[in-house]
Chains A and B, each alone.
Chain A
Amino acid sequence: DVKVTQSSRYLVKRTGEKVFLECVQDMDHENMFWYRQDPGLGLRLIYFSYDVKMKEKGDIPEGYSVSREKKERFSLILESASTNQTSMYLCASRYDRSAYFGPGTRLTVL
């Protein structure tokens, strides 16, 4: 079975803090994604990566950056957290036509 893990299930941070969300997959997938999910807005793509050190902006990259130094790990960075970044963050990896999601990180920015 494919396993995608995220470093935290719940996270509370203060405005202005730098936040790191880690995602690890164990199936050697090349493509990895970060989404945020908000009520009424569905899943919105923040960034994705199709190879080590390669990244592309998604639909809402502002306020975020990413890092992919190793194939199995894809990190999402909030440079200076703001309250409007309070959300559910979902990481996914993809092989062939199917994507596999982690359990999500519920981030609250106070």
Chain B
Amino acid sequence: TQLLEQSPQFLSIQEGENLTVYCNSSSVFSSLQWYRQEPGEGPVLLVTVVTGGEVKKLKRLTFQFGDARKDSSLHITAAQPGDTGLYLCAGARASNTGKLIFGQGTTLQVKP
């Protein structure tokens, strides 16, 4: 059972465009993480959001946790070729222990 649905699965855009990736669930999560993975490498943690409605910014990346803690979004402003990669969201059902549930990922390609 896929508890976290990411959309879109693939995204190909031109440098300078904006984009939003969505991570949705019918379940409530105590926290949600976003990762970026480059080919042949492990995922790298970008951010963790904990509070419903929370917004975090990382340079041109803006992450938001839904008010009900069931969904999240990642918005990239003025995308650059260096943003190319696989973006994964992951939710935690328990606060400190237990497994993370991953979305299927969004493959982003930013063309120069």
Residues of A within 8 A of B (CB): 4, 30-31, 33, 35, 40-43, 45, 48, 50, 58, 90, 92, 94, 96-104, 106
Contact = CB atoms under 8 A, between A and B. Distances in A.
Interface of B: 30-31, 33, 35, 40-45, 48, 50, 88, 90, 92, 95-100, 102-105
Nearest to B50: A97
Main secondary structure of the interface of A (DSSP, over half): strand
Contacts of A45: 99
B40 A104 contact: yes
Contact of B33 (A4, A43, A97, A104): A97
Given A45-B99, A104-B40, A104-B41, A99 B104 contact: no
Contacts, number: 56
Given A42-B105, A43-B88, A99 B100 contact: yes
Contact of B42 (A40, A48, A96, A101): A101
Given A42-B105, A43-B88, A94 B43 contact: no
Main secondary structure of the interface of B (DSSP, over half): loop
Contacts of A42: 88, 102-105
B103 A101 contact: no
A97 B95 CA distance: 6
B45 A90 contact: no
Contacts of A99: 33, 45, 90, 100
Contacts of B35: 101
A40 B2 CA distance: 12
A96 B45 CA distance: 13
9 contacts: A31-B97, A41-B104, A42-B102, A43-B102, A48-B99, A97-B92, A98-B45, A99-B90, A101-B45
A33 B43 CA distance: 13
Contacts of A92: 42, 100
B30 A97 contact: yes
A51 B92 CA distance: 18
